[in-house]
């Protein structure tokens, strides 16, 4: 029997884990959640603004739109271990237009009925080492 609290390791080619995704002023698909109800994709999403002035990032999924203001030269946690399934499409854009906004996304997949760990990632037992390569390393937190 599978351990319901153990994340599944997913193929790197199927997910944008650790990739720097430069945002534009048009919605871009970051991830399409697993298309069933027996598993959950658990999503953590950061926005890294390496330019001047503040900008909004807009995140959209399943008819919901979330707007988060990102200050200059900062990294913000946008979604913290958010659960998705049923094929929901996670999209993101920046407003006003800039080339200085980058998204970082991690996705873990769990069986439905499990209770993914609620504690911060720094306190969890590592399941897979993730290495982020930010455009400008200074404002981005180092992986643990």
Mean pLDDT by 10 residues, the chain (144 residues): 56 62 93 89 92 94 94 93 92 92 89 62 46 46 54
Beta sheet of 39-49, edge-to-edge order:
21-22, 101-111, 39-49, 74-84
Q: Would you state the pLDDT for residue 117?
A: 55
Q: pTM for this one? A: 0.71
Q: Would you state the pLDDT for residue 80?
A: 92
Q: What's the rounded Cα separation, in Å, for the pair 22 and 103?
A: 6
Strand partners, 91: 29, 60
Q: Would you state the pLDDT for residue 16?
A: 65
> Does some domain include residue 138?
no
Nearest to 21 by CA among 46, 56, 44, 43: 46
| φ, ψ for residue 85, nearest 5 deg | -155, -160
| φ, ψ for residue 12, nearest 5 deg | -60, -30
> Does some domain include residue 76?
yes
> Does some domain include residue 131?
no
Q: Would you state the pLDDT for residue 111?
A: 85
> Does some domain include residue 16?
no
Q: What's the rounded Cα separation, in Å, for the pair 100 and 40?
A: 31
> Does some domain include residue 143?
no
Q: What's the rounded Cα separation, in Å, for the pair 88 and 62?
A: 6
Token pair of 107 as six digits: 């996705």
CATH of the domain at 88: 2.60.290
Token pair of 8 as six digits: 């599944």
**Enclosing domain of residue 63:** 22-113
Task: Name the domain count of the chain.
Answer: 1
> Does some domain include residue 126?
no
- Name the CA radius of gyration of the chain, rounded: 15
């Amino acid at each position: 029997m599978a351990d319901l609290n153990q994340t599944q390791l997913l193929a790197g080619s199927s997910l944008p884990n650790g990739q720097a995704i430069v945002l534009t002023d048009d919605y871009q698909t970051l991830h399409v959640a697993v298309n069933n109800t027996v598993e959950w994709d658990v999503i953590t999403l950061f926005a890294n603004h390496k330019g001047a002035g503040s900008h909004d990032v807009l995140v959209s999924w399943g008819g919901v739109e979330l707007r988060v203001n990102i200050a200059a030269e900062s990294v913000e946690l946008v979604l913290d271990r958010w659960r998705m399934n049923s094929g929901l499409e996670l999209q993101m854009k920046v407003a006003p237009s800039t080339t200085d906004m980058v998204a970082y996304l991690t996705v873990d997949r769990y069986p439905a009925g499990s209770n993914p760990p609620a504690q911060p990632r720094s306190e969890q037992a590592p399941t897979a080492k993730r290495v982020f390569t930010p455009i400008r390393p200074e404002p981005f937190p180092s992986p643990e």
